[in-house]
Amino acid sequence: FDRCFCDSRTEVMEKWVAEFFLRRQQNPRVYASPLLSALKPVDSDDCVKLKITSVLRDISNSLIRGTVDEGMLDLLEILEKLMLQERSVIMGSLKSAYCWTAVECTHRFMWPVTASDGFFGDALERIWKKRIGMLKERESDLVSHELLKWESDLNEAFEEPEIYRKIRESNVRYNAISHLTQLVKEQWALLGCSSLESEARKRLLKRKDSPNASRKRGNGYGRAGETTDKSNGENANDVEEVGGLEKHDGAVKVNEQEQEHEPSLNKGEIAVARELKDFLLEIQRLIDSSTRQEQEPDDAMEQSNDVTPQNDEANRTEAEDSEGSSSSRRVRPHLPTPEPLNVSPLKKVRLERPRPRRPMKFWTPEEVAALREGVKEFGKSWKDVKNSNPVVLADRSEVDLKDKWRNLFGR
DNA sequence: ATAGGGCTACCG
DNA sequence: CGGTAGCCCTAT
């Protein structure tokens, strides 16, 4: 950090701030492209992560709006390319999300009862021949078996009214949304917390550790905000704000990839903190005005700089926390009429219907002996018992062991 | 992961 | 019926 402290300091901070806003899940929703263009274009190669973050943000937003269209396919393709740049594997979740999104994009043209009536043919041509054709050409990993299967099914559907009808009536959208949601969740989790936040946590820890020798590592991070005294002025503010916001970070590990930002700020710490805060406020202001005037804020942004809203800065954070109270004055985007779902997402359905009962098998004396041995050695930790003789106990689950033991000796 | 309640097939 | 063995479900 020292090295880049002088000239590229602001650049790093821009990245951090952008990243921070892109990752937070709360309102106001950030739109990736305006945010990135609002910042000076930081187009170095190490921005891949930031780009991934922004693509994810776009996908999330699209999902929140309920929009699963060909723009989504674009986003997924970009995501794939970025992940290749990062030399990470293309995961199953991305493949199936892409597959189902492609199917959904086609499926939405199956509104007429017969294939030839509407634009189904055009959709096939555009999406499957051209778009996916290009994927095939560059041997993309997105071309999965699943995808190929659907390709042939959809092509068949064009000829066979019966197949057309079946696909037409199936609930593709539900699957597409599920897979996309899954993908987004997985990716957010993979990214961990933002650089800004991990920095804040680090400083928080340092501060907590130094005064008293309480070594409370592990998941001590959680609600640390309250315990810090506010006497530290703006520093404390920053930390609280940052610490409280992100929800999706689940695993509280400081991401390995975050290490590039590792070196801590001990010089000019205060100055940096102050600058960060200014950044946050400024960006917040941009976001506020841009989300308020719908999502085409590119030009709106300029004027809004001076017409900027006023005093509500102070209560802003609280307003966001109670989701929705402030959203009433935001323009609600026009949502496409949702297609009816065969399965209500509200009703908790078991997607795999009740497993057929495992056929009953009596315990052999050998198995019982193994069980006794195991328990003698490990007590009632069934996991260990099973591991102590995995061969004999191969088709007995840990629960089976427990049940059998109960049968043998009452309680 | 484990404990404990419940269900079902079977038997006397 | 009641009892038992094996298996399933779910709260902790």
CA distances from A396 to A357, A370, A392 (A): 14, 11, 9
What rounded mean pLDDT belongs to chain A? 69
Q: Render pLDDT for A162-192 as a digit per residue (tens, 0 to 9).
A: 889 889 888 889 889 999 999 998 888 888 7
Give the pair of three-digit tokens for residue A253. 């590990």
Confidence class for position A394, pLDDT limits 50, 70, 90: confident
C-alpha closest to that of A80 among A66, A67, A97, A68 = A97
Confidence class for position A275, pLDDT limits 50, 70, 90: low
Q: Render pLDDT for A119-162 as a digit per residue (tens, 0 to 9).
A: 999 999 999 999 999 999 999 999 999 899 899 999 989 988 88
Rounded distance, CA A151 to CA A167, Å?
12
CA of residue A357 to C1' of nucleotide B4, angstroms: 20
| Section A366-374 average pLDDT | 88
Q: Are A142 and A77 in contact (CB under 8 A)?
A: yes
* Protein-proximal positions, strand C, CB < 7 A: 4-10
Residues packed against strand B, CB within 7 Å: A 360, 380-384, 398-399, 402-403, 411
Is-cis flag, bond preceding A34, omega within 30? no
Q: Are A276 and A17 in contact (CB under 8 A)?
A: yes
CA of residue A374 to C1' of nucleotide C7, angstroms: 21
Give the pair of three-digit tokens for residue A182. 């899954």
Residue A38: its pLDDT value, please?
A: 61
Rounded distance, CA A401 to CA A407, Å?
10
Rounded distance, CA A249 to CA A190, Å?
9
* Protein-proximal positions, strand B, CB < 7 A: 1-6, 9
CA distances from A210 to A79, A231, A248, A265 (A): 42, 16, 29, 16
Confidence class for position A104, pLDDT limits 50, 70, 90: very high
Polymer length of chain A = 411
Looking up tokens 């975050």, which residue turns up? A258
- ∠A387-A392-A398 over CA atoms, to 5°? 45
Q: Which residue approaches B1 most closely, CA to C1'?
A: A383
CA of residue A403 to C1' of nucleotide B12, angstroms: 24
CA of residue A355 to C1' of nucleotide B1, angstroms: 21
Q: Which residue approaches B10 most closely, CA to C1'?
A: A360
Confidence class for position A407, pLDDT limits 50, 70, 90: confident
Is the pLDDT reported for residue A264 higher than 90?
Answer: no
The dihedral built from the CA positions of residue A342, A347, A350 and A353, taken in this order, carries a sign that is: negative
Nucleotide nearest to A356 (CA to C1'): C8
Give the pair of three-digit tokens for residue A387. 């591991």
CA of residue A67 to C1' of nucleotide B2, angstroms: 44
How does A165-185 read in b/e, with b if 16+ C-beta sit within 10 Å? eebbeeebbbbbbebbeebbe
CA of residue A351 to C1' of nucleotide B1, angstroms: 24
Rounded distance, CA A336 to CA A203, Å?
45
Is the pLDDT reported for residue A240 higher than 70?
Answer: no
Is the pLDDT reported for residue A76 higher than 70?
Answer: yes
Residue A298: its pLDDT value, please?
A: 40
Q: Render pLDDT for A28-55 as a digit per residue (tens, 0 to 9).
A: 566 777 666 665 555 555 577 888 888 8
Is the pLDDT reported for residue A84 higher than 70?
Answer: yes
C-alpha closest to that of A132 among A146, A119, A117, A143 = A143
Rounded distance, CA A168 to CA A115, Å?
10
Rounded distance, CA A254 to CA A262, Å?
10
